[in-house]
Amino acid sequence: MSNQIFDNTVCLAVTFHRAGQNRRVRRGDAKVITQDKDREENPDESDIEGPDQTQFSIGKRIFASDHWRAAMSIARKFDTWLHIRSLPCPLKRGTELIPLTMLDEVYAKLDQAEAGYKIEAGALLEEYDQLKRESQEKLKDLYREEDYPSPQQFRRAFWVERKLFDFSPPGKMKLSETMFKQERDRWRQTFIKAENEIRLALRESMLMLVSHLAEKLQSTPDGKKKVLRDSAVDKVVEFLDLFDKRNVLNDTELKILVGRARRVLDGDIAMAGALRQDGTVREIVSRRMEEVKSGLDALIKSGPARVISFDEE
């Protein structure tokens, strides 16, 4: 195995910590809900036995806030942004393999996301007491003061954790040379198994996008055009634009197909408009995308089965 993965990437784990807005309802408290529901549905029957409380669990939302939702949106959007630019990593879920050529861009984006996350957390803290009062009115008998952390604890719950793992030899070794080599060899064996999976994951990711676009360019059985949204073209172009930075294993076969797809779309996201309006352009692009798709199918069939995926489960 070459040192391409070790030399050209680092592992990054980013966690947006938060205070949860849901709590489990205690078994005894669950009777409040079941009894109230029974009374509403059967007003003439005052003594109805509810279900066995040990057979189910229910939850309650202890507060609802636009700022909390905005903070979660920032975290989700960053995770999606990072996922698109990274490579599949054989470590625990939530750890991404980042090409060194993109590390500065990733950290700049993470700094921006973290700043926005802190702003929303600060705004959330300012309305914390009001949120508790509103929840008390809505939850009534299910309100429990102990469900709510103190304002200080609540604010400290919102923070962004980042862990960077670099498997190249450090300038000053903290471990003995023997131990460092043992750990590096252990990680090397993990990444040996991952190389083919990473290569195939890139190929399958492109195949999925190209197949979707090719399918949308085809006419229906009655000769009508299918609806073609900008995103179908945008996602293919985004993959092509990022490919060179993500191609840390130097997949020359896939690079050839990427170049062919670039020539078909001319690297222009505005192509989506031309594809919708010009039937001739649509037909040409459809045919050439089918050729790219056939090439990708052949590449994938010639390789081993894939375990790692870019898609979240």
Q: How do the domains of the chain map onto residue ranges?
A: 4-21+62-165, 177-301
Identify which has the larger pLDDT, 179 or 106: 106
Among 86-95, 120-129, 165-174, 237-246, which stretch is predicted with the lowest mean pLDDT?
Answer: 165-174
In this prediction, residue 270 carries a pLDDT of: 44
| Number of C-beta neighbours around residue 63 at 10 A | 22
Q: Are 216 and 235 in contact (CB under 8 A)?
A: no
| Number of C-beta neighbours around residue 155 at 10 A | 17
Distance CA 297, CA 204 (A): 9
Q: Are 172 and 61 in contact (CB under 8 A)?
A: no
Binned at pLDDT 50, 70 and 90, residue 198 comes out as: confident
The average confidence (pLDDT) of the chain is 79
Q: Look at the chain and count its residues.
A: 313
Binned at pLDDT 50, 70 and 90, residue 126 comes out as: very high
Q: Are 10 and 99 in contact (CB under 8 A)?
A: no
Answer whether residue 238 shows pLDDT above 50: yes
* Backbone phi and psi for residue 235, each to the nearest 5 degrees, phi listed first: -70, -35
Ranges 55-59, 166-170, 247-251, most confident: 247-251
In this prediction, residue 52 carries a pLDDT of: 61
